[in-house]
Amino acid sequence: MDLPVNPPVAPMLAKAVTAVPRQPDDGPAWLYEPKWDGFRVLLFRDGDEVEMVSRGGKDLARYFPEVVAAAKAELPEKVVLDGEIGVPKLFANGVHRLDWDALSQRIHPAKSRIDMLASSTPAIVIGFDALALGERDLMSAPFEDRRAALLEATDTGSTRERGTMRVSRVTDDTEVAQRWFSAFEGAGLDGIVAKDRRGVYVPGKREMLKIKHKRTADCVIIGYRVHKSGTGVGSMLLGLHGDDGELRMVGGSSAFSDATRLELQELLEPMRLDPDKPHPGELTRWRQAGTGEFYPVRQELVAEFAYDQMENGRFRHTVKFLRWRPDREPSSCRYDQLEVPLDYDLYSVLEGS
């Protein structure tokens, strides 16, 4: 490829905050947009060459051939876009939502199945940034200029009745963004992103702000415990990488149905590091005997979990499994995704302190 911005490029990231940031008194500094619930993608087109790279550096083009074809048909000859891949689905109530399950099924090793799903559940790309257009490198341009280039590249303007390449809407009105936060959840979105309208594109840095409907973390599956019945998985053990790159156990997820326990056993048992010898586990004030033993597994799987608080670098309570994340690399599951104030000082809560 011969573009002003060539792969690999690490996407700019967002840090979590608890509320939609308000505009300063001297004029709008933020542009707000919906937070889309799909696979993050950097799309590079140079003529007949199209590359689609996930946040973790995976090649997504082979899984979404219909998007590759649409990029050639709908985008300029030279362009680099940042956005989200999603699969729309018409639900029984007559509205379209992004369907995470249908999207996850697209990550499949068989080309025949990929081709079938590309036809039956075609994906769309929702662009929200432009890194290059034509011969212009836009990464040092302010976001409002990159946004203008994005509209130019996708040729949508104010209309959204287009094909595969779509554009995220934005607003500089804080009250509108707050209404979006509630109203758009019904469309399968999971919050709001706030961007500095004058900010440049900073690869790999958490320069944007995100406000999510729920507190979640993407964790590495590092092992499992057998259910007390002796059959199936009782709990999965989870890990996150610290700033030093070391993987630390941060807690566990349990409360699975009988069917799910057996499915997890079939998935995880072949991944044991030592098939016949469980790890003795760590002792805690609640577990003083040998009942904490678990089977370490290869650190290959990533899943998203809902949690309430962290304490001393670990989840305070058992967390809830939400979904698998085949688009995430285990090395990308870090503590820095948890940049939300997760606890309060006692005296800040007590009246009169």
What is the set of active-site residues? 35
CB burial of 257-279 (b: ≥16 within 10 Å; e: otherwise) equals: eeeebeebbebbeebbeeeeebe
Token representation of residue 87: 């699969």
SS3 label, residue 66: helix
> Which amino acid appears at position 94 of this protein?
G
> In 3D, which of 30, 91, 175, 123 has the Cα closest to residue 183?
175
* Distance (Å, whole) CA 295 – CA 227: 12
- Going by the DSSP 8-state scheme, the letter that residue 332 receives in this structure is G
> In 3D, which of 249, 252, 254, 253 has the Cα closest to residue 335?
249
Token representation of residue 78: 């030279």
